[in-house]
Amino acid sequence: MPIISYIPSEYVNGFREIAVMEDGDFNKIVQGLSLTTLTSSIQNLATNVGNSEQIHRLPLQEIFLAVGTLIEFLDDRNDIPKLALEVVSLIPPDGITKTQFAGLEERLIFLLNDEKIYYAYKSRKLITENANNFLSCRIVSDIRPVFDFDIEKQPKAGVITHTLHIHYDSELSGIHKDFFICLDAFDIQVLLEALIRAEKKEETLENVLKQSQITNLNK
């Protein structure tokens, strides 16, 4: 029974890049992976490898993400050679020679065995395995005048309000969404106190990881 039956179209180009790149470029990727540390996302890993080997021109994020998605299909490392062979058989052959296909299999085996890619992909999956994930935010502040019964009179008072806009990714619906909530000065203070407590919890948990000799991938 095959481990994988098809390659999603968005990842095909990443595998093609691995197949057709020159040996020198692939060796730079190998060297870059050996020099970088564990990180919490494919994007960070691509940046670190690109910086260490000055190979920004290569689509490192596309390559690492394509390889990372294969990790979902592995029960253990013993399945890697079989999975690599199956991936090669599923890639459209246009523009790829037999020699390059053979090299793709070897390169996939190497990359799938690399712990930097494994931890970057698995960490990001754990971080984002929620119903909703934060993407960005901004706050719009304004003054709202309190008008008299006679609205032609100049207002004598006003209130300051703040609208918190949170942009987030909804895993349940698979689309980006927006959330708006109005805040006043008291609400802002409550929110600040909660965030400060979260920072202190982060520090405490960092110490727990250090004492357990576990690498904190958020750093």
Closest CA to 72 of 108, 121, 38, 106: 121
Concatenate the DSSP letters of all residues of 67-124 into one string.
HHHHGGG-SSGGGHHHHHHHHHHHS--TT--HHHHHHHHHHHHHHHT-HHHHHHHHHH
The strand pairing partners of 159, in sequence order, are 144
| pLDDT tens-digit map of 13-72 | 999 999 999 999 999 999 999 999 999 999 999 999 998 877 877 899 999 999 999 999
What is the three-class DSSP state of 17?
helix
Total count of domains within the chain = 2
Domain boundary, last residue among 94, 127, 160: 127
Shared domain for 96 and 137, answered yes or no, is no
Shared domain for 121 and 142, answered yes or no, is no
| pLDDT tens-digit map of 85-120 | 999 999 998 889 989 999 999 999 999 999 999 999
Q: Residue 173 — very low, low, confident or very high, per pLDDT cuts 50/70/90? A: low
Residue with tokens 């993407």: 135
Which domain range does residue 138 map to?
132-211
Shared domain for 146 and 105, answered yes or no, is no
At residue 161, what is the residue type?
Answer: T
Exposure of 12 by Cβ count < 10 A (0-12 exposed, 13-18 middle, 19+ buried)?
middle
| pLDDT tens-digit map of 132-169 | 999 999 999 999 999 999 999 999 999 999 999 999 99
